[in-house]
Amino acid sequence: MMKIVLVFRWYGEDQEEAVNNMYKIASVLEKEHKVYHATKDAKFLDTLPEWKVLEHVFKEIEDADALLVYQKSNDVSEGMLIEVGYAVAKGKKIIWAKKKGVHNRYLIDGAVHTIEFNDINDLLIKLKKLKL
């Protein structure tokens, strides 16, 4: 059993959709792994400045074996990039889930698994088949 931290773009996204997608992804992965995503702590994290949110996620990454990056658009998220950089610096495995048509502008070559998906349902099917 691995601990996997899910990271995703938050600001500028439909936050209700982001929360729903993180719970869907987690429900697939939690069959075999422990999973953390910041939306679990959203009420608490919404009270903090952004740098404190990153600090909180860094603690989760410290205890994790892997980071799953969910990327559904070409829009860059500074927070997500920082989280990925931190995980790479800590030697964590990177799993990159990217929507088809999204350009990889950073760090994709370092991923141990790359998953291209059409929509959230396609991603869930592919995650069920993923052997970590």
Q: Which tokens go with 26?
A: 């987690």
Could you give the C-alpha distances from 9 to 32, 44, 59, 94, 124, in angstroms and in order? 25, 18, 19, 16, 18
pLDDT category at 79 given cuts 50, 70, 90 is confident
H-helix segments, 32-75: 42-45, 50-62
Residue range 16-62, pLDDT digits in tens: 898 899 999 999 999 999 999 888 776 666 677 777 888 889 999 99
